Structure 1
Amino acid sequence: MANSRFRAILLQRCPVCLDGRVFRSLLGTHKSCPSCGIRFERETGYFLTAMFFAYAIGFVLIAPTALYLYLREVSVNWFLAIISGALILLWPFIFRYSRILWLHADQLMDPRSEPPFGLPLDQPPPDR
């Protein structure tokens, strides 16, 4: 199970069935899994927590470069240009994997197995 979950994270797959694609385009997320039908966004603002993952991923990817540039005594202008350019180029990667990591972490903490019955998959569940 752990190996298939790791594979699903690397391949950016659904946290429930570990098969369906989460993204429909570079930055566009499916509303529900094309394979199992589970809704990805459980509530309004669901992906706000993914920002914490984005911050951590960005830090891990940029910190070694920043340290290298600092030790090489690169000028402040070049330092900012290189770091900014790297973040711009890495943003799609950071965005996608922050959402994937949040989806899988949330699935492990609060499992769900099936969509609400009787509702179209593109509609949110009714308020309780």
Structure 2
Amino acid sequence: MASTVYTDSPAAREALHRRTLIVVMASQVFSGAGLAAGVTVGALLAADMLGTSNLSVLPTALFTAGSAGAALMVGRLGTAMITDRPGHHPAGHAATPDRRHRIAGSTACHTGRHPHGPHQPGP
């Protein structure tokens, strides 16, 4: 197989990018279909094994709880990796104490949920 240097040619780089996106999109479609099939088969197997459909939602609930737990752990790990570096806040500059209050106040004024009533524009 011939080796192509993608950094030399913008056209070759764009072709590689296009092929990569096609592969990623196809894998997402097939993995989503497989996930849905797995959850459905889990519910059908639970109903068949238990003899009633009352608890057939249990595999779906356990899968959802497991996914939520994994997302929580990945989020905490990512936050820990960011905050371990000196001078970095997990939400960036916008979350420094002074800016948080300004952002919250601005959002409250523009949504009409400010405790002192909606924001009134000046003259």
User: TM-score per shorter chain, which class?
Assistant: under 0.3
TM-score, structure 1 normalization: 0.26
Higher CA-based Rg: 2
Q: Which structure has more RCO (C-alpha within 8 Å, separation ≥ 6)?
A: 1
- Structure 1 or 2: more helix by fraction: 2
- Give the TM-score normalised by structure 2: 0.27
